[in-house]
Structure 1
Amino acid sequence: MKTAYIFPGQGAQFVGMGQDLYNLNSESKSLFEQANEILGFRITDLMFTGTDEDLKQTNVTQPAIFLHSVILAKALGDKFNPSMVAGHSLGEFSALVAANALSFEDGLTLVSKRANAMQKACELQPSTMAAILGLEDEVVEQICAQIDAIVVPANYNCPGQLVISGSIEGIEEACAALTIAGAKRALKLSVGGAFHSPLMEPAKVELQEAIEATSIKEPICPIYQNFDALPHTDPAQIKQNLIDQLTGAVRWTQTVQKMIADGAESFIEVGPGNVLQGLVKKVDRQAQASAAFID
């Protein structure tokens, strides 16, 4: 039976996340303490006893979700036996560490650099994202392409749910046009900027150097990457897709479809929340999806 392990992205955080893992054993505790040193602040304090506002800061959110996911995967031990892995946006870094392609230290360092670079890019130009519900992907793509201001499809989450990303003006124009076209909802998201859009180009340039300088090995199983929704094991191609992911769309719908086509019979979500399990079921109602847990 082929099992796909999937790793969540930004938005899955909650206060208290990871505290059970910290208390689980000395190995897990040691990884959290190592993370505090690498980051230069006690992220564990913010994860375990911080506020929702603390956890919403991009430079906290991304490392926090990465740590929860990766330390949980390591705590699974022999139970973690993937036929394939994938991660939603930030989750791609968690998946690479869990699949032994990237070291814990390098993965956390890249995630921290990515979060800071994205934050800086957000501050350069006011921008945002919106969730479009109840329209075909092709309709959303066509309408975005007709708008003069910057607006692009950013997250293909599941059929009938596509997040768009762009300038404030672009998002407002697109939401109005998509509502007229029959969208059930065009909901602006409370995010700091236009992730997975051309407005992330400054972050892409900054992160490219860091990714190229980092050692990535062949993973223990194929990783299905956001940029093209295809399985990869070649380190050079994995690096390029990680770089392109910042300004490219997260093709999650297509990723799940491809994993199922390649024989995935069950999906296990590793990390906080259960968002990805829900998305998998919306892509294919027959798919088995559950959360990773430690006995």
Structure 2
Amino acid sequence: MAPERARAAFVFPGQGSQAPGMGCGLRESSAAAASVWQVADASYGASLSDLVGAGSPEDLRPTDVQQPAIVAASVAAFAAFNETLGVDGAAVTANGYPVNVAAVAGHSVGLVSAVVAAGCTLVGEAVALVRDRGRFMATAAFEKPGRMAAVLGLDEPAVESLTSAIRTETPGSYLSVANINAPGQVVVAGDLVAIDRIVNEGRGAGARRVIPLNVGGAFHSVAMLPAQAAMRERLLAVGIDPPAAPVISNIDAGHLVDPSGIRAELANHIAAPVRWLDGVRAIEALGVRHIVEFGHGSVLTGMLRRTVKGIELHNVSDMASARAAAAALTDG
């Protein structure tokens, strides 16, 4: 590491950041990014890059396509950033890395991208893992149908109270908080009837808006317990090394610094709420001056703008933004 440099955190987006064509320009302009996509194609078992490059939004909707595509695009962006730094590969190196990385974090499936960037596992292993993760989650969603909705304008305790009331009044409901993303932005997951109720009743309870999300299931809820169990078994075959920088937990915002903790997190967070806001607060407490989001779009950067003050935010999705972020982080 470089202790004289300003501290930085690297973050990686999850579902909702995908779009047809994401990463295509970067593949053409960065040899490092192109190499990541080649490995991703081989590990996925089909041309993931063609699916992303020529597919429609509907083609990217299945979780076993969407999740590997997001991880590939994010890791490719990080590899391009490393390329501008003169660093080979798609990981922070333990010694001599030119940026002072205080932590890495990822939102939901983005946690897998973060684990790759921390040097815990290789991108080929990660793409195959999240392909299976997506399949496990799709199967669980088929067996226990559900949806998700974003509740805007209420804090977590108010949303917890609302979900508890609806759950109590709805036989068989498993409605619960699934993501705490930013102040006044909480996502819930649950059975179809309960989600309809919160969409219709949320404004009456004080929410500014309640928006149904176009996702394939009630992710980060008890509906995903079978996927969690399958993922735990699948992870036994995945090599995980100690991270070069702490990985921030989605579950409790703790610092994951050993392989056993990271392995447990990668399974357990599938059925647990993503406490992203707590993770951001944990990053703030590290005294970072920069947070860099790697991947298509700027979903996390948008949340961060509503959450942090006095921290420079960067998004790397093409070579121009990779060079700009690299210059900002190595100049101080």
**Displacement after TM superposition at 1:221 (Å):** 0.4
Q: Identify the residue that residue 54 of structure 1 maps to in structure 2.
A: 59
Q: Partner of 2:151 in structure 1?
A: 132
- The amino acid of 2:56's aligned partner reads T
Q: Distance in 1 between matches of 2:28 and 2:185?
A: 37
Tell me how far apart the structure 1 counterparts of residues 156 and 120 of structure 2 sit (CA, whole Å).
33
C-alpha spacing 1:135/1:28, structure 2 compared with 1 (3 Å) = closer
1:34 is matched with which residue: 33, 39, 43? 39
- The share of aligned pairs that are identical, in percent, is 35
SS at match of 1:283: coil
Which amino acid in 2 is paired with 1:13? Q
Question: What are the superposed Cα offsets for residues 237-261 of structure 1, whole Å, 9 maximum, x if unpaired?
Answer: 1111111100001111111011101
- Cα distance in 2 for partners of 1:169, 1:57 equals 23
Listed one character per residue, the Cα deviations across residues 107-165 of structure 1 (whole Å, up to 9, x for unaligned) are 11111110111111111122100100111210111222232311110011100000000
Instruction: Tell me, yes or no, if the aligned pair for 1:143 and 1:177 is still in contact at 8 Å.
Output: no
Which one-letter code corresponds to 2:178 in the other structure?
A
Cα distance in 1 between the residues matched to 2:82 and 2:155: 41
Give the superposition deviation at 1:177: 4.4
Separation (CA, whole Å) in 2 of partners of 1:105 and 1:43: 12
- The counterpart of 2:74, out of the listed 51, 69, 73, is 69
Q: CA deviation at 1:28?
A: 3.3
Query: What CA deviation, in whole Å up to 9, does each residue of 1:171-229 have, x standing for no partner?
Result: 22334443322111111112111000000111111111011331111111001011111
Which moved further from structure 2: 213-222 or 89-98? 213-222
Separation in structure 1 between the aligned mates of residue 120 and residue 272 of structure 2, nearest angstrom = 22
- Residues of 1 paired with 2:161 and 2:218: CA distance? 19
- 1:8 is aligned, of 1, 4, 13, to 13
Q: CA deviation at 1:9?
A: 0.5
1:108: which partner in 2?
A: 127
* Distance in structure 2 (CA, Å) of the matches to 1:188 and 1:44: 29
CA positional deviation for 1:21: 2.6
Say if 2:289 and 2:311, in contact at 8 Å, map to a contact too: yes
Q: Does 1:17 find its partner at 2:22?
A: yes
SS of 1:246 mapped into structure 2:
helix
Structure 1 range deviating more: 19-28 or 267-276: 19-28
**2: CA distance between counterparts of 1:205 and 1:232?**
20
Q: What residue in structure 2 maps to residue 96 of structure 1?
A: 115
Q: Deviations over 1:36-81 (max 9, x none)?
A: 2221211111111211111222111111110011122122226463
* 2:197 paired residue number: 173
Alignment of 1:277-288 (within 5 A): 277-288=301-312
Q: 1:65–1:271: 8 Å Cα contact kept in structure 2?
A: yes
Query: Partner of 2:59: helix, strand, or coil?
Result: helix
Unaligned ranges ≥5, structure 1 = none
The residue number in structure 1 matching 2:328 is none
Q: Does the 8 Å CA contact 1:151/1:174 hold for their aligned counterparts?
A: no
- How far, CA to CA, are the matches of 2:230 and 2:180 in structure 1? 25
Q: For the residues of structure 1 that align with 2:140 and 2:9, how far apart are their CA atoms?
A: 33
In structure 2, list runs of 5 or more residues that go unmatched: 1-5, 86-91, 93-98, 324-332
Conserved 8 A contact 1:66-1:94: yes
Letter in 1 for 2:157: E
TM-score (norm 2): 0.85
Rounded to whole Å, the distance in 2 between the matches of 1:23 and 1:58 is 26
* 1:243 equivalent in structure 2: 267
Letter in 1 for 2:44: L
CA gap of 1:176–1:53, structure 2 versus 1, over 3 A, is closer
- Cα RMSD for the two superposed structures: 1.6
Q: What's the offset of the Cα at 1:10?
A: 0.8
Equivalent residue pairs, number: 295
SS in structure 2 opposite 1:249?
coil
TM-score, normalization by structure 1: 0.95
